[in-house]
Amino acid sequence: MWLSDEDYNFIYSKSPRFCVDLVLACNDDRVYLAEREEEPYKGKWSLPGGKVNFRETIDQAINRIANRELKRNVTVNRLIGFMEFLDETQNGNDRHSISIVFDVTIDDRKTFFNPRGATQKEIEKNYDRIVSNLHPIHEKFLYENGYGWRI
């Protein structure tokens, strides 16, 4: 069912990749950001997200990504907008991705979301490092859509 690396690289060098990203508020009302572990933009902070698989609904993709990156189920509140990544390179291959972005909340409203068990002190200690190292397209999107103060 999955494409070989060769087929994947050929297809996505010729057509855009469709993705979803999630905006989730944490305990202190800041937006949850994760440090990217792979290219493109490895080491930059970004919204949780990923590609939509073939024959996967957008809701299924959102829940798969939320479970993978947040270890939680989420509810979509609203569609915020889209981001376009025209000049990405991944493993030496050119990419063009389009991501639709959703505002989401954790399904279990009784518990606050504290990413990876981080304490407030740890979050504050890393804040300057996060703000100065955001994925540039995510940063632009967050500011243009009124989330800049929540970074």
Q: Running DSSP on this structure, what letter comes out for residue 86? A: E
pLDDT at 39: 81
Helices (H) and strands (E) in the chain, counts: 4, 6
Q: Is residue 104 within 8 Å of residue 74, measured between CB atoms? A: yes
The structural domains of the chain, ordered by start, are: 5-146 (3.90.79.10)
- Widest Cα–Cα separation across the chain: 46
The span from the first CA to the last CA of the chain, in angstroms, equals 38
- Compute the distance between CA of residue 149 and CA of residue 143 in angstroms, rounded to an integer: 8
**What token pair was written down for 110?**
């009784």
User: CA–CA separation, 3 vs 12, rounded Å?
Assistant: 11
Query: Around Cβ 142, how many Cβ atoms within 10 Å?
Result: 24
Per-residue pLDDT of the chain (151 residues; tens, 9 = 90+): 677 888 888 888 889 999 999 998 776 677 888 888 888 888 888 999 999 998 999 999 999 999 988 888 899 999 999 999 998 877 777 889 999 999 998 876 555 455 554 544 445 455 556 677 889 999 999 999 988 877 7
Peptide bond into 40 cis (omega under 30): yes
By the 10 Å C-beta count (0-12 exposed, 13-18 middle, 19+ buried), 51 is classed as middle
